[in-house]
Amino acid sequence: MSQEPNAISTVLSASVHDVRDLAAMLRGLSFSSAATMSIQPAGVEVMVEESRCLIGTAYISAEMFDEFQFTPEAPSESQNNEVNESQGDDLVMPSVFEIHLPSLTESLNIFGTAGGLSSAQMAKKRWSADAGSDDEPSSTTTRRSNAKIVDLNAQGRLDQFFQPQNGEVKKTSLRLSYGGSGHPLTLLLAEDATGPTTTCELATLQPEIPSKFPYNEEEILVWIIMPSIGLRDAISEFDPSCDTLTIIVDPNATQTPSLPALRLQASGVFGSTEIEYPNHKNVLETFQCQERVEFRYRLNIINKTLRALQSSFKTSLQIFPDGLLRLQFMMNTSRSKKDGAFIEFRCLALDDEA
């Protein structure tokens, strides 16, 4: 598409021919209605917060777009006083604003072709903010198993073939632009050249001061990398009445193969469920842990990450001192997996007194 006449004053001008991947990334954070968007030369970060104990960030790199032009705004006085965390050589101020996330995700799906559930299924489902509802059909019925589970419908791959009867898989294309502080975020969406076009302007607000859950890489206690399927089936096993998730990681399992290396225990008023993972190569790809570690988390908070987990193919789980849990979900994108599109969550552990 040709440049707009006022391209010089545009902070962001980006386009993508299929919004599916972008929509999938945003869906992982859809439990929150407010999100902070940070537009940088490297791409867009979308951050959400929950109950001051969970931060979720979707890293949407510029490579996920067909076109991505970012012209930084002149920094305002208040921004000049802040230390910039950007990694660029020059001090490039990202453009940061708050947006209403459901408005953005609904707009991307205006023609019903942004992926996820088909429009027929969407019509039957209520929009559920609780990520605990398992709304993506899973073709696996195996429960706790060390065998490799083949999920034919992972990331909605099979769903792609059950599109509307006309047989074509339609895509929605997007042109995204942002004029800077005080301007709305503009979306221009179209399905094909002959079809309708939609123009949306989403109100942008001053961003809230974000919580930060810093960690020190050198103080890492646990690092596990595993295929997401193993975690996903396990977490959806948990009874909804459970309120606490205890994660126990034990390095002694490497000497004693029968001891589980990773244990997830969900407990509540009615009882508890425990899922165990041995340290086998096809269960846990990477396992790093020096000493036994045990921390508790609110299960309803962990459940917020389910949607992102369901759309990912690999999970990295890290635990830092005080139990800070860092989950990174590598998202399956229609482009190559090398895009490195991922969603990161940081979750605070429950204090023992609680």
| Interacting residues with other proteins (CB under 8 A) | 100, 102-103, 106-107, 109-112, 119, 122-123, 127, 184, 194-203
CB of 272 to other proteins, least distance (A): 37
User: In sequence order, what DSSP letters do the residues of 76-127 get, joined into one string?
Assistant: PHHHHHSPP---SSS-PPPEEEEEEHHHHHHHHTTTS-SSSS-HHHHHHS--
* Pairing mode, strands 286-289 and 222-227: antiparallel
CB of 189 to other proteins, least distance (A): 8
Phi-psi region of 180 (alpha: psi -120 to 50; beta: other; left: phi over 0): left
Residue with tokens 């810093």: 214
Q: Which is nearer to other proteins, 68 or 111 (CB)?
A: 111
Q: Which is nearer to other proteins, 200 or 248 (CB)?
A: 200
One-letter identity of residue 240: P
Q: Which is nearer to other proteins, 26 or 299 (CB)?
A: 26
CB of 124 to other proteins, least distance (A): 11
Q: Which is nearer to other proteins, 119 or 300 (CB)?
A: 119
CB of 8 to other proteins, least distance (A): 24
Q: Which is nearer to other proteins, 65 or 111 (CB)?
A: 111
What is the number of other CB atoms lying within 10 angstroms of the CB of residue 329?
A: 27
What whole-number distance in Å separates Cα of residue 320 and Cα of residue 160?
39
CA 96 to chain centre: 19
Q: Which is nearer to other proteins, 123 or 152 (CB)?
A: 123
CB of 176 to other proteins, least distance (A): 14
CB of 112 to other proteins, least distance (A): 4
Which positions ≥6 away from 336 have C-beta within 8 Å?
A: none
